[in-house]
Amino acid sequence: MAVFDYQLVEDVAKALYIRALCDLPPDVRRALKAAAKRETNPTAQEVFKAIFKTIEIADTHKTLICQDTGLPIYMLKIGSAFPWNGSEIKKRLKIGAERATREFPFRGSSTHPLTRMNPQTSVGEGLPVLYCDFVEDSSRLDILMVPKGSGSENMSRMRMFYPADGVAALKKFVIDTVFETGANPCPPGIIGVGLGGTADLVMKLAKEAIVRPVGQRHPDPEIARMETELEDAINSMGRGPMGLGGDVTTLAVHIETAYTHITQNPVAINTQCWPARRARAKISPDGKVEYGY
């Protein structure tokens, strides 16, 4: 078997960042169109027209959907039969993100937390963010790229509940958070909810929730019912697109879960703005790359 060329991972990482910023996934496009059809508020209808014009410009000129190019997140699923070198993959993903920023080019948003020095590379210490999982009976490297802007990311919330608080308290926390954040995350987007695990895991679950195809329900019927209930409650607020009033405040509520400790129940919320951007590539050992969302 030929030695795998990790230059391919770097090139794909660069391409995915650019694709995610410029090409809105088909499921998001369909969800926005469906939301616009059921919107009755005149102001909200005008907001949707502006949204679709923005998408049209990005499609026509192959340019950015939003000027906030975000921080790069790469979610990896590594097949059990893929010939991988973890440190090399990590290095190549970072270089790819930096190349996308410099060569496309677009504004780099990464900065030192204290000095606020911006290297204009979109990376730095701790960046890009990498999530890794492993897939049995697969020979491919699956890379999902998610650029996360601050308008939505700044609205993230996490709280440690006790089991005695009950399910109603969990739902109230989600609804209250969406109400308090108002127009900041550029609605209507996706509300990602993490439920269970630990303080760090629960936010990762919320991140995973926002990248699920819009409206795809959780396989657990009880969790799926909670998604629907929260979605209906949030849309009944009347906040509407961009917080200017209307029938559609969210395109979907997605929940991801994990088992947790008997004495705790963590909940995290991570919102995605209306351009729910993501891009995927599946790399085979022979160098074949399949792009998607």
DSSP 31-93: HHHHHHHH---HHHHHHHHHHHHHHHHHHHHT--S-S---EEEEEEEEETTS---HHHHHHHH
d(CA 187, CA 155): 12
Pairing of strands 71-79, 129-135: parallel
d(CA 289, CA 287): 6
Angle in degrees, CA 176, 263, 254, rounded to 5: 40
Pairing of strands 265-272, 189-196: antiparallel
Tell me the CATH number for domain 7-23+65-149+277-292. Answer: 3.30.1330
Residue 256: count other Cβ atoms within 10 Å of its Cβ: 24
Instruction: Express each pLDDT in 202-228 by its tens digit.
Output: 999 999 999 999 999 999 999 999 999
d(CA 247, CA 57): 26
Encoded tokens for 60: 């026509």
**Domain chopping of the chain, boundaries:** 7-23+65-149+277-292, 151-272
Per-residue pLDDT of the chain (293 residues; tens, 9 = 90+): 467 999 999 999 999 999 999 999 999 999 999 999 999 999 999 999 999 999 999 999 999 999 999 999 999 999 999 998 999 999 999 999 999 999 999 999 999 999 999 999 999 999 999 999 999 999 999 999 999 999 999 999 999 999 999 999 999 999 999 999 999 999 999 999 999 999 999 999 999 999 999 999 999 999 999 999 999 999 999 999 999 999 999 999 999 999 999 999 999 999 999 999 999 999 999 999 999 99
Helix (H) or strand (E) holding 206: helix 199-210
pTM as predicted: 0.96
209: Cβ contacts below 8 Å, ≥ 6 apart: 190, 192, 193, 194, 254, 255, 256, 270
Query: HSE of 22 in the Cβ direction (CA atoms, 13 Å)?
Result: 15
